[in-house]
């Protein structure tokens, strides 16, 4: 079953904090799928993982720029389900302001949901 989910998921992680790292590891270990991480930090530890793609996209970018990046990633997902995981609270404002558009294109989750604590967005 996990192999099927791995073939179907296209995870996009917002933030490279501890929760972001844990989500990347969970996606790789449980489903065998790589992740794309949007962050404003250097994220050196993630850059060395072959299954991780790191894009410089800090939460301070204008909403339209972040949305454009996410639209491009959605286009790359093909037939896979784009899973947008909020790991860093710095992106919360962006998510709140753009919830309607994001919900139309992504499955939205918080890191705590994937890691076993908390409720969905």
CB 6 within 8 Å of CB 33: yes
Higher pLDDT, 115 or 43: 115
Summarised one tens digit per residue, pLDDT across range 39-59 is 998 877 787 888 999 999 999
Per the rule left: phi > 0, alpha: psi between -120 and 50, beta: everything else, 118 is left
CA dist 37 and 118 (Å) reads 21
Residue range 10-14: mean pLDDT, rounded: 97
CA dist 13 and 57 (Å) reads 11
CB 41 within 8 Å of CB 16: yes
Domain 2-115 part of CATH 3.40.50.720:
yes
Residue range 70-80: mean pLDDT, rounded: 94
| 37 has pLDDT over 90 | yes
pTM of the model: 0.89
| 120 has pLDDT over 50 | no
pLDDT exceeding 90 applies to what percent of the chain?
73
Find the range with the poorest average confidence among 25-34, 56-65, 99-108: 25-34
Q: Domains of the chain: which residue ranges?
A: 2-115
Summarised one tens digit per residue, pLDDT across range 96-110 is 999 999 999 999 999
């Amino acid at each position: 079953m996990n192999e099927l989910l791995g073939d179907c998921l296209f995870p996009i992680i917002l933030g490279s904090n501890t929760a972001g790292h844990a989500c990347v590891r969970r996606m790789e270990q449980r489903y065998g799928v790589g992740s794309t991480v949007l962050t404003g930090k250097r994220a050196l530890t993630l850059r060395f993982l072959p299954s991780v793609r790191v894009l410089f996209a800090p939460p301070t970018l204008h909403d339209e720029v972040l949305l454009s990046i996410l639209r491009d990633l959605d286009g790359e997902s093909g037939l896979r389900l784009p899973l947008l995981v909020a790991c860093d609270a710095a992106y919360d404002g962006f998510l709140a302001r753009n919830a309607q558009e994001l919900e139309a294109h992504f499955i939205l989750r918080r890191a705590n949901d994937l890691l076993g604590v908390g409720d969905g967005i």
